[in-house]
Amino acid sequence: MFIFERIKISHLMLAVVVFIVVPFIAWYGTWFGRPLTNQQIAEYLHDEKARKVQHALWKIAERIQNGDTTVRQFYPAVAGLVTSPVAEVRVNAAWVMGQDNHAEQFHAALLTLLPDRDPLVRRNAALALVRFGDRAGHDEIVAMLRPYTLNATAAGTISYRLKIEDSIGRGTMLAHIDRIELRSPVPGFFEEMIAKDGSYVQAGAPVISISPADEQVWEAMRALYLIGTAADLEDINRYARGSDLHMSPRVAQQAQLAATAIRKR
């Protein structure tokens, strides 16, 4: 029996606030403060410029959070963004769809994002689905607790640009493979050079291991508080001990809460 059958949906809504620090909030917070009319939102959602689409999504999220039901007129367009060729738009759309866990159109759209090629899209979708009482993204959420392996995008000689333990943001350049830049799709820390610096690597070969960022682990623990299973305790307990120097105290606290909740189920 799923845990959702034993937890009231109101508890679920309060316990999990789906939010991974998506780029548009950090980069364009002030600019996105400019209000948009309904007509502008409708136009921006179909604009070729990703920044305008993100602006519209931010305004839709604000209106959902303020209880404005008229914003539902834009739901079909938001759900349609799951096919956007721009990864950041899909990341943002997944986050916005998690703001209204009563919209079945959003629920269905989020499920299509679980196999997305971009890890942050998958993670935002998995976290958003928890608000719908859907544990379909469970494995993706557990993966947020583990190192991310980055593969070579081309064959060639690899030359690293960062050192072990360096902090990494989404889009940080980690290495060159000949003249091709290798950038991180996830935030975290440079954990390991799987391929030796200066060595020849094949396309698709694992080359870098990235340990998780604090925010990612914390959000995963909040979700696992609700959907975690006994099989997840090994990963959770590693953080509950508070031995990871990259993690803030709140991560250990949340890990302990998640572990306790799982043992009680």
Average pLDDT over residues 64-84: 97
Quick check: 11 pLDDT over 60?
A: no
Residue in the block written with tokens 């959702």: 4
- Is residue 55 very low, low, confident or very high in pLDDT (cuts 50, 70, 90)? very high
Is residue 38 a contact partner of residue 73, using CB atoms and an 8 Å limit? yes
pLDDT band at 31 (very low <50, low <70, confident <90, very high): low
- Can you tell me the distance from the alpha carbon of 91 to that of 118, in angstroms, rounded to the nearest whole number? 9
Lowest-pLDDT range of 27-41, 121-135, 213-227: 27-41
Q: Is the pLDDT of residue 10 over 50?
A: no
Residue 260 has pLDDT above 90, yes or no: yes
pLDDT of residue 161: 96
Is residue 153 within 8 A of residue 177, CB to CB? The reply is: yes
Lowest-confidence region among 16-25, 39-48, 132-141, 226-235: 16-25
Q: Could you write out the three-class secondary structure of 160-193? A: ECCCCCCEECCCCEEEEECCEEEECCCCEEEEEE
Report the pLDDT value the prediction gives residue 244, as an integer from 0 to 100. Answer: 85
pLDDT bin (cut points 50, 70, 90) of residue 34 is confident
Q: Which amino acid is at 55?
A: H
CA distance 131 to 31: 29
Q: Would you state the pLDDT for residue 219?
A: 97
Residue 25: per-residue pLDDT: 45
Residue 245 confidence (pLDDT): 84
What are the structural domains, with CATH classification, of the chain? 3-136 (1.25.10.10), 148-212 (2.40.50.100), 215-265 (no CATH)
pLDDT band of residue 26 (cuts 50, 70, 90) is very low
pLDDT of residue 18: 44
